[in-house]
Structure 1
Amino acid sequence: MNRLLNLFAVASVAATLSGAAFAAGATKAAKPDLAAGEAKASQVCVACHAIDGSRGAPSFPILQGQHPEYLVKQLHEFKSGKRKNAVMLGFASALSDDDMRNVAAFYASKKAKEGFAQNKDTVALGEKIYRGGIAAKSVPACAGCHSPNGAGIPAQYPRLGGQHADYTKAQLTAFRQGERTNSAQMSTIAANLSDKEIAALSDYIAGLH
């Protein structure tokens, strides 16, 4: 009888643990709340990124259509200080994990708008670097990680196509100068790019789609 009771107790504990694990998994897999994301974005992000993350000021990134996993990663890195930006540190620090997930999903749900290059004299150079890299400088083709049309690879590499040239230029320069350090790969690549190459590449990416 005691043996049966012990077996029943063990089974009950196992069932409880299994249920807890299932509940945790269900919570993790729960779909983001787009309405909550929109509400939070309208409170916290709208001043710099516009309500839908679209083409606002060129010094701020376009978030519309960006991979949600990438956005969440950047928000966590702003919050932890791994990616340094005093303004974003303040905003990200006020967001919970659910807030980040919801806001990222909201921006990702919006269709990214096409941009355009402005300097016809450097388009050829920008395209050459983006699609073929610079072998002599050990600079790989951007298309290898960010895809030929700039769509990027979810969770790993961000969407670049249509991004503001000013913003892309600022980030590449920050990587090169050691001011942005949350990607060793990009720091290594940017270190081998000249001002002219960064400007040409950034302008080309702005019109990529």
Structure 2
Amino acid sequence: MSMSNAKQLAITGLPGVGKTTLMLKIVNYLKESCSNIKWCGFVTEEIRDPNNSKERIGFQILTYPRNSRYTLASCDNSAMTRNYPKVGKYNVHVDSVDQCVQELMQYVKRERPQIILVDEIGKMELFSRDFIDFISAYMVNSSVTIICTVAQKCNHKLVELIKTDRKTELITVTKDNRDSLFQDKIEKVLLNCPQTEFEFMTW
């Protein structure tokens, strides 16, 4: 499959506007309506305090198709996490991001999926060198279809490259369009996804 047949979608928008909700719609659609398409990826979930559901204490990564969970960030200030990179009040678990990437790489090598979902490409994930290499190989240089969310306010050079890449359609989620974006934009991409395997990239 050539790059001209691939469709790269980058979904951006303000925090809390509904980017992950849109990605979950894609996950459900792939599970229920696209049994002939091989896919993998991850979404990011909030971790809430079990004693106070209104308080967010971190983030975790949920992978597909294995349904593994990896801690992305936490408010834990133990000796183990004290020297982790920080974003705001959160300590970023770079080792967990690396483990997530290794799981996805193993699946990609074995199954050669047509679609990879990534939620998200943001400040926390970009502390991982493995994550940067993975996204660079498949978002920028590969013919596999990537659907990802990208932080709206992030000056990392990889994020800027994705947003300005001519092969990538950048979609901004707003409160006004978030309920219609799946049907208007994304469903067509999934329906037109090539059924042949992509050329595997090494990195």
TM-score with structure 2 setting the length: 0.25
Higher strand share: 2
Who wins on radius of gyration, i.e. which is larger? 1
Structure with bigger RCO (C-alpha 8 Å, 6+ apart): 2
